[in-house]
Chains A and B, each alone.
Chain A
């Protein structure tokens, strides 16, 4: 079974621009979660989508948004980029939503975003 894929793998943008990142989950998985990882803050939860619905959102400004399509692929968008948005953006998929289930999340390779 193919793993989680993310595109693009690397991205360089300038302040004020916007960016869209894509994530294709493992076949059959309907839950996609997005995380931002920086050296100082560790893995921070952005949001989770399950069956095209946002289930949960982390503590990020409204510039960060996402969506999920009927084939479970997900995109996240960051508008008006700031220097502090430079990070590794990871998506993870699972067959069921997070919570008290015993579901396991599997991570994609990530998209490394550099904002200049």
Chain B
């Protein structure tokens, strides 16, 4: 079982709609979770982090964490063409941060 799994996509979402990105992880002891956005040819940029079960909102972004199900998600409301990128889920494990391979998101104008 992969430590952090994401659907590779591409996920195509119409402009103005909600984009939903999902991530599962295997280490039940993980306590902190991150979402990074990576544009093509650029380095990852942190957009959200979440430590507690439930929802955390920041502008158009909402991170959701369910530790019992070992599941973390990112919702992007009112999707814009500038949101087109690869989104990396990262989990702070026992001694290192583990990244998923990322989901490519494409916002359709």
A contact residues vs B (CB 8 Å cutoff) = 33, 35, 41-43, 45, 48, 55-56, 58, 88, 90, 97-110
Given contacts A43-B88, A99-B94, A109-B42, contact A104 B101 (CB under 8 A): no
Distance in angstroms between the alpha carbons of A32 and B23 in the assembled complex: 25
How many A-B residue contacts, CB cutoff 8 Å? 67
Q: Residue of A at shortest CB range from B86?
A: A42
* 19 more A-B residue pairs beyond the given contacts A42-B100, A99-B93, A102-B51, with a C-beta to C-beta distance below 8 A: A41-B101, A42-B88, A42-B102, A43-B44, A45-B99, A55-B95, A56-B95, A98-B92, A98-B93, A99-B92, A99-B95, A99-B96, A100-B29, A100-B32, A101-B32, A103-B32, A104-B49, A105-B97, A107-B43
B contact residues vs A (CB 8 Å cutoff) = 29, 31-32, 34, 36, 42-46, 49, 51, 88, 90, 92-102
Distance in angstroms between the alpha carbons of A106 and B92 in the assembled complex: 14
B51 contacts across to A, CB distance below 8 A: 102
